[in-house]
Amino acid sequence: MSAEQARAETGVDTREFRDGLGRFATGVTIVTAYCDDDGDGTCEQLPHEPGQHAWGTTVNAFSSVSLDPPLVLICIGRERSIHPVIASARRFAINVLGEDSQALSDCFAGAPSSLPRSAFCNAAHHPGEHGTPLLDDAIAHLECEVEQAVDAGDHTVYVARVLSVAADADDRLPLLYFRGRYLRIERAATSDLRGKPDM
């Protein structure tokens, strides 16, 4: 649908919608899962190299949902290559990227990259205790199991229970995304952080 058609039908211009959403700064994650060869064809459809079962996609539509029980959500476009992998595996990992991982973000987003997406972007990884691929360089990992898959427009909202979480002990800073560009934290890292104290 063109931007003009979208505005006529919904009252919202697609470009203005993207521009507005782009003002909301986010972190960047790689959502990863293993495809299995149980005959449903999920693995075969992926453009990955033989023997490579880990697959991933760059995602910033990620949010915490509930502390008790621990729930998070991600929104995945139904056309995304990882969509059938999550639908089949029901388990996935959220890998929060550090500020040095821009190349991984590009590769897992299918953007022009010197890294091979078909070989999991050459990203060092290992299996987590709950059977999801964890990126060695992530600043935090969450292993998750799908509780609800809600159709929402052209995306699926996956509400998932967190099975395990690990955060980098080195206090590395995150990669940020704002108005379609990557950013790094600078001033915040050198000034006092004020806010509600941790309980």
Ligand X SMILES: Cc1cc2nc3c(=O)[nH]c(=O)nc-3n(C[C@H](O)[C@H](O)[C@H](O)COP(=O)(O)O)c2cc1C
Residues in contact with ligand X by CB under 6 A are: 28, 57-61, 75-77, 80-82, 105, 109-110, 177
CB of 80 to ligand X, least distance (A): 4
Structure tokens at 170: 């080195």
Looking at beta carbons only, is 8 or 152 nearer to ligand X? 152
CB of 12 to ligand X, least distance (A): 19
* Cis peptide preceding 69, ω within 30 of 0: yes
Q: Please answer whether residues 198 and 175 qualify as being in contact, where contact means their C-beta atoms are separated by less than 8 angstroms.
A: no
User: What span, in angstroms and rounded, lies between the C-alpha atoms of 122 and 115?
Assistant: 7
C-alpha atoms less than 13 angstroms from C-alpha of 71 in its C-beta half-sphere: 13
CB of 16 to ligand X, least distance (A): 19
CB of 113 to ligand X, least distance (A): 11
Q: Which residues, 6 or more positions from 86, have their beta carbon under 8 angstroms from its beta carbon?
A: 31, 33, 76, 92, 146, 158
Checking 64-69 for CB contacts under 8 A at 24+ apart, the result is: 65/159, 69/161
Looking at beta carbons only, is 59 or 135 nearer to ligand X? 59
Looking at beta carbons only, is 8 or 118 nearer to ligand X? 118
Residue type, 15: R
Q: Please answer whether residues 158 and 146 qualify as being in contact, where contact means their C-beta atoms are separated by less than 8 angstroms.
A: yes
CB of 187 to ligand X, least distance (A): 22
The helix/strand/coil state of 112 is: coil
CB of 129 to ligand X, least distance (A): 25
Looking at beta carbons only, is 72 or 82 nearer to ligand X? 82
